[in-house]
Amino acid sequence: MKKEDENKRKKNKLKISVVGPRGYTGAETIKILSLHPYVDEIQLLSLSEDDKQKEEQTQPEITKSIPSFRKYLQKVSKIEKFSEEKLEGSSAIFFCTEQNKAHKIVSRIIESGISSFVIDLSPDFRFKDVGQYKKVYGFDHAIPSAIQKTVYGLTELYREKIKESEIVANPGCYPTATLLGIAPLIKYAKKQGLNIEWIIVDAKSGVTGAGRKALPHLTLAYLSENIKVYAWSEHRHVPEMQEKLKELFDISPPLNFTAQLIPAKRGILETIWIKLDEKPETDKIFEEYQNFSQKNFFFDFWGEELPDIYSVTGTNFIRVGIKCKDNIIMVVSVLDNLIKGASGQAVQNLNIKFGYDEKVGLELPPIFT
């Protein structure tokens, strides 16, 4: 980047609005953006009705909900009650909300003429097939016309489209781990004319993947020294993965997926089994993964060494290792569900859209304890 261009970017810093700041993804998004050199202001907007009365008295501080932010944030402190008018002038809007919220608001802001870049961390824009929203999530989409203009925010595979997008649908954490984990293998298979007979995904996730809900199976007493299978192939991320496999690679292999809750706060480890119709050339598979890793900073290929959750905690990396035996390939894919699986990838997409280095704000040190 030329020095004059760099100076221009520094002068034209971004104003960001974060809708839904109190959840896990909201907090991670705020943390990353607060250290982003090109973000000048972060506006926090709450959809909670409880904030209406509070705002009439005094705006609640984010540190009341997230005490770890005390004496930490320089660009933000107060939470405001959401209204469309407050989004005026935002360079980008991050929706860190639960399902069936963002699409309604985006519909209204488009009607009002607000043209901010939208990054939705909820599932409200992930499907191209409008019928899937009712089938998978139980709601009718408020703005079907915007779906076709939306780009799926799986950064490494949709980078060029993200540059031209108006709305980015940030992927689910499980689909990120699965699709990125097997993308080089699928590319190899297609080059060699090999067919994928089936895919089996055995996924294990920390409790933050369920959000900040007060549910019995998320309590320490229940989950400590325990593990729980909570979804089989009916998991809501399976249709998302199936649609993107067809869209990206024009394949529709049987996909069996199992999600398990483990006694960890954050992180996902997926063991992915893939059967090809013929025995592959292992060295060429490795070459495909190595090339993908070289082209994508946050994709880290470990060869035959198998990564663990500890290696990605607190970072925006996805780390992948593989083993091959006959025509069966095992891929181990790990990431931090709150960063590469959510907020980090969202900021990665922000950087791409606004022409910044993809790593800006995201070279985060790992959590060692």
Residues labelled catalytic: 173
Q: What is the distance of C-alpha 9 from the center of its chain?
A: 26
Beta strands 150-152 and 117-120 are: unpaired
Give 259's Cβ-side CA count (13 Å radius): 22
Which amino acid would we find at residue 146? A
CB 25 within 8 A of CB 170: no
Phi/psi at 32 (5° precision) = -70, -45
Could you tell me the end-to-end alpha-carbon distance of the chain, in angstroms, rounded to an integer?
37
What is the layout of strands, in order, in the sheet containing 92-95? 79-81, 39-46, 14-19, 92-95, 117-120, 167-169, 150-152
**Residue 279: other Cβ atoms inside 10 A:** 12
232 burial (CB, 10 Å; 0-12 / 13-18 / 19+) is: exposed
Say how far apart CA 49 and CA 152 lie, in whole Å: 31
155-163 and 173-192 helices cross at what angle (nearest 10)? 90
Annotate 139-178 with b (16+ C-beta within 10 A) or e (fewer): eebbbeebbeebbbbbbbbbbeebeebebbbbbbbbbbbb
CA distance linking residue 274 with residue 141, whole number of Å: 34
Location of structure tokens 């904030």: 51
